Structure 1
């Protein structure tokens, strides 16, 4: 009788121990899931179209074409903004915006900087690059290659000065390549990168149509 009672107590204790272990495992799993959900909510980037007057329904991972176009023009214009001296400003811009450029594009622009510097085309030179008025974003200016890759055709005006004197002024259509870029959101909140060029720039005439 005593053995039977003792065995019953041991079975009960063993069962209670098993239940405690199961509860501990479930608690750990719930904690892991909660931490994962919390971090995932912080890392999701949602691209909102600039014009919501007509509403917008899309998957969270989709990137609206106006956002792609705006990103490409903004980054390319900033890299080509030399307010004081091209030799210094160009190099500093490549460092400042390195997280917004693919490694391949950084290499191309670094080589361009080196070539221009060797030819004396940077020292003492100021530069500005901006959109041609009235020839901004249009759906036809963005070519989608996939959900992660686009080409934008940006009509930009380039001006260069040396000691306050204008030495260059041109209007050209730049085919800029933009790609989705997996990078730390603290360094690049867009989640996009400029992948340099999808062809050569060609001169345009502002009296022609926007196409």
Structure 2
């Protein structure tokens, strides 16, 4: 009788031990899941096209062509906006918009800054770069290489002034490269970055040139 009672107690203790082990394992799994959930992205960026009159259905990670085009033109124009003095404005722009430029592109633009500075093409110079009227976004202007990289062909007008006198004016098609860049959503909510150029800019003729 005592032996049966002792066996029952041992079985009970063994069962309690196995339950404690299971609870410990379950608690560890829950902790692992909680840590993973906490460290996962707290926000996701959903890109919607600018015109929703006809509705839009797409995967959340897809970036519409108008958004890519708008980003590329806007960032490139802002980098090339020198309101007072190219020596300071160009350098400041490279710092201000560093979150929107890939590291490789920053090196290219930094070299361009040094080259222009050594030639005296920055001191006291004002610059503006903007879209040629009537040559804005069109689907054919955005070439998708993958879901993460694109080339946009932007027709832009460049004007430069020194002491109020126009010293340079040109119309050119710029092949700008844009890539997905989900690095820091707090500093770059677009999730895109300018990756400089996919070729050299070429002059265009607004009067006789084709729209695209």
Offset at residue 38 of structure 1 (A): 5.3
Question: Is 1:101 the equivalent of 2:104?
Answer: no
Distance in 2, matches of 1:37 and 1:203, equals 52
Q: 3-state SS of the aligned residue for 2:6?
A: helix
Residue 188 of structure 2 aligns to a residue whose secondary structure is coil
CA deviation after TM superposition for structure 1 residue 10, in Å: 2.4
Name the structure 2 match of 1:145.
Answer: 145
Q: Is the partner of 2:196 in helix, strand or coil?
A: strand
Question: What SS does the corresponding residue of 2:51 show, helix, strand or coil?
Answer: coil
Structure 2 counterparts to residues 15-94 of structure 1, below 5 A? 15-37=15-37, 39-40=39-40, 42-94=42-94
Structure 1, residues 143-172: CA drift from partner, whole Å, max 9, x if none? 111111110000111111111222111111
Task: Give the structure 2 partner of residue 176 of structure 1.
Answer: 176
Report the count of equivalent residues: 211
Residues 23-66 of structure 1: CA deviation (Å, up to 9, x unaligned):
23223323433453455452422211111111111111111111
Distance in 2 separating the partners of 1:13 and 1:83: 81
> Could you tell which deviates more after superposition, 176-185 or 21-30?
21-30
TM-score when scaled to structure 2?
A: 0.92
What residue in structure 2 maps to residue 126 of structure 1? 126
**Secondary structure of 1:42 counterpart:** coil
| Match in the other structure for 1:205 | 205
Give 1:182 deviation, angstroms: 3.9
Q: Deviations over 1:69-90 (max 9, x none)?
A: 1111111011001111100111
Report the 3-state secondary structure (helix = DSSP H, G, I; strand = E; otherwise coil) of the residue aligned with 2:61: coil
Structure 1's consecutive aligned runs of 4 or more residues displaced over 4 angstroms after TM superposition are: none
Q: Deviations over 1:104-149 (max 9, x none)?
A: 1111100000000001110111111111122111100001111111
In 1, the alpha carbon distance for the partners of 2:52 and 2:38 equals: 28
How large is the Cα RMSD of the aligned pairs?
A: 1.7
Distance 1:50 1:111, change over 3 A: same
- What 5-or-longer segments of structure 2 have no aligned partner? none
Q: Who is 2:4 aligned against?
A: 4
